[in-house]
Every structure is written in structure tokens, then in C-alpha cells.
């Protein structure tokens, strides 16, 4: 059994992929737990107000963290183009995407909403191929097909 697990994890050990995998796994767990708190918290709150509070709270924590570890001073050296790209990402993900997410979980079943929202990697896969020239491997294509099939089955 131990050798089978080692063999399964072998591709992750190449090029530091294990740390990437563990970070992604940790993020997945956080994203999996967070909607439960949001659903309960939004019970008596407008989704827009919830989004404003969540964004301000997160920005405050991140700002304090950046000041404490000395990375806040690096902001002045960031090129305007890079800041523009991050601003567009924040508008799409944090403003528009999260507002739609908050409104959806307030009105619907959090388990269904999060499954639909979690299909965003499929959109990322397509846009990464179109705009970044990333290759869609057979394994990624099959994985994306499973995601879409799963959403169709759930809806």
C-alpha cells in the first residue's frame, strides 16, 4: 500500500509540485468551509453590504500583514501596467464575481451554488489556452469534461 501511494504522489514531487499541491489543497479547504459562514451570515444582510464588509475586513488584515512583514513598501515599485492587470482581476473576481456569489448563496442552496461557482477553473482553462497559449492536455480536457458533466448531473 505504501509503495502505491508513493508512486501516486511521485509526479507531485517533481519541480516542487508537492508544495503547490499542498497550498492548493489548503486553499480548497478554506474555500470549501467559507461558504457555510457566508450563508449563515447573509441570512439577515444584503449581499452588497456583506461583500463590502468582507472586502474591507480582508483588506485590513492583508494590509496589516504586509506592513508587519515589510512587503507593503514594495508596492511603490510595481509598474502601472501590472497594477492595472491586478485591478481588472479584482473587479472581475472580488467585485462582480463575489457579488454574484453572495447573491446566489443568499437566495439558493449553498451546496449547489458552490458547485457551480467551483467550475470556474473550466473557464480559466479555456482562457489560459486562448490568451496565454497554454496547452490543453488530454488529461485536463477529460477533467474539464468531468466538471461539466458533474454540473449537468447536479442541476
Q: Provide the residue ranges of all domains of the chain, joining segments of one domain with +.
A: 45-118
> Could you tell me if 54 and 45 are in contact, meaning their C-beta atoms sit under 8 angstroms apart?
no
Q: Is the pTM of this model over 0.85?
A: no
Q: Name residues whose C-beta falls within 8 Å of residue 54's C-beta, 6 or more positions apart in sequence.
A: 38, 98
Going residue by residue through the chain, which has 155 residues, state the pLDDT in tens, using 9 for 90 and above. Answer: 566 655 555 655 566 677 888 888 888 888 889 989 999 999 999 999 999 999 999 999 999 999 999 888 888 889 999 999 999 999 998 889 999 999 999 999 998 888 888 888 888 888 999 999 999 889 988 988 888 888 888 77
Amino acid at each position: 500500500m505504501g509503495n502505491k501511494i508513493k508512486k501516486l504522489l511521485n509526479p507531485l514531487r517533481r519541480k516542487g509540485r508537492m508544495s503547490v499541491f499542498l497550498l492548493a489543497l489548503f486553499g480548497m479547504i478554506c474555500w470549501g468551509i467559507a461558504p457555510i459562514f457566508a450563508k449563515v451570515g447573509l441570512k439577515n444582510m444584503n449581499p452588497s453590504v456583506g461583500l463590502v464588509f468582507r472586502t474591507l475586513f480582508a483588506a485590513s488584515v492583508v494590509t496589516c500583514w504586509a506592513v508587519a512583514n515589510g512587503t507593503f513598501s514594495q508596492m511603490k515599485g510595481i509598474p502601472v501596467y501590472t497594477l492595472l492587470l491586478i485591478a481588472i482581476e479584482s473587479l472581475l473576481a472580488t467585485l462582480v464575481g463575489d457579488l454574484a456569489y453572495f447573491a446566489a448563496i443568499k437566495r439558493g442552496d449553498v451546496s449547489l451554488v458552490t458547485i457551480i461557482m467551483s467550475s470556474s477553473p473550466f473557464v480559466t482553462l479555456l482562457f489560459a489556452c486562448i490568451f496565454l497559449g497554454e496547452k490543453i492536455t488530454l488529461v485536463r480536457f477529460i477533467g474539464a469534461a468531468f466538471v461539466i458533466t458533474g454540473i449537468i448531473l447536479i442541476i
